[in-house]
Amino acid sequence: MRFDVLTIFPDMFSAYLRDGIAGRAVKRGLLDVRLVNIRDFARGAHKTTDDRPYGGGDGMVMRPGPISRALGSIERNSRGSLVILLTPQGETFNQSIAWDISSLEQVILVCGRYEGVDERIRLLFVDREISIGDYVLSGGELAAMVIMDSVCRLIPGTLGGEKSSFEDSFQDSLLEYPHYTRPRVFEGLEVPEILLSGDHARIRGWRRKEALKRTFERRPDLLAKAKLDDEDLRILEQIRSQTPACPPEAEADC
Ligand code: 6GU
């Protein structure tokens, strides 16, 4: 799989691509990341990539010319490629979009900066617009790394244990169960006895129950789309019955 990343800050990616999960995938030849510096396609004495908005107002807008020429310089996979614009106005990224993207051979990520990108870039070149959440970042670079990281984990061979990406939170729409490692007692807190029992069936049952409990307490919205069997539903009913009912005056908070 190949990512072409258009940015005015290519150096922001170097530590991640060296040390991160993507770095390992690059070394193994599973992933190819090409950084394209938009400034290399700027013209004129000042090589400006941004300018004042028509109509006035605060902030600067990324000019269409340099981005258009940068896009034109990318060799496109004949079996297709997708141009994604990272913008707070896009659809909110999630695991299902990560799966969509992981099936593609070439993805072109355009990192917007400043107040935005000239609208004509969107109209002419962009296939999909993605945001990574409802908060403001100064640019799309961190979002591009978030997307590459989550997609990279889904490419077979990029993780140590082949199965681990399937056990992650959100893969089956449940949060993860609590994890413990040595020492057995830390600051007076003991590892749950069952995890030391060696009884793998009981351990599996305990972990499933803890995952259900955690999801119920923290992200009940996820339970609606989770794949739950009859045993899960029975456990959830038990968890629900042990949860104190919400007093009417506090309804909005619980
Ligand atoms: Cl993709 N870009 C910017 N600038 N801010 C964001 C974002 C993207 N996703 C969330 N906030």
pLDDT for res 246:
77
88 is catalytic: yes
Q: What is the whole-number distance in angstroms between the Cα of residue 47 and the centre of ligand 1?
A: 25
Whether 167 has a pLDDT exceeding 60, the answer reads no
pLDDT for res 250:
72
pLDDT digit string, tens, across residues 99-108 = 999 999 999 9
Based on C-alpha coordinates, what's the Rg of the chain?
23
C-alpha span between 200 and 12 (Å, rounded): 44
Using the atom order of ligand 1, give the atom closest to the CA of residue 93: 9
Cβ of 87 less than 6 Å from ligand 1:
yes
Q: Which of 51, 129, 149, 168 is catalytic?
A: 168
State the CB neighbour count (10 A cutoff) for residue 206: 18
Using the atom order of ligand 1, give the atom closest to the CA of residue 132: 9
pLDDT digit string, tens, across residues 51-60 = 999 999 999 9
168 is catalytic: yes
Q: Which of 19-23, 48-52, 158-162 has the lowest mean pLDDT?
A: 158-162
141 is catalytic: no
26-42 mean pLDDT: 97
Per-residue confidence band for 245, with pLDDT thresholds at 50, 70 and 90: confident
C-alpha span between 170 and 99 (Å, rounded): 12
Query: What domains sit in the chain, N to C, each tagged with a CATH number?
Result: 2-152 (3.40.1280.10), 169-243 (1.10.1270.20)
Q: What is the whole-number distance in angstroms between the Cα of residue 78 and the centre of ligand 1?
A: 30
153 is catalytic: yes
- Cα-Cα-Cα-Cα torsion 15, 37, 107, 129, nearest 10 degrees, comes to 100
Q: What is the DSSP string of the chain?
A: -EEEEEES-GGGGHHHHHHSHHHHHHHTTS-EEEEEEGGGG--TTTT--EEPPTT--SS-EE-HHHHHHHHHTSPPPTT--EEEEEEEEEEEP-HHHHHHHHT-SEEEEEE-BTTEE-HHHHHHH-SEEEESSSS--SBSHHHHHHHHHHHHTTSTTSSSSTTHHHHSTTTSSSPPPP---S-SEETTEEPPGGGGS--HHHHHHHHHHHHHHHHHHH-HHHHTTS---HHHHHHHHHHHHHSPPPPGGGGGG-
pLDDT digit string, tens, across residues 180-239 = 999 999 999 999 999 999 999 999 999 999 999 999 999 999 999 999 999 999 999 999
pLDDT for res 199:
98
pTM of this structure: 0.93
pLDDT digit string, tens, across residues 111-166 = 998 689 999 999 999 999 999 999 999 999 999 999 999 999 999 999 876 556 65
State the CB neighbour count (10 A cutoff) for residue 251: 8
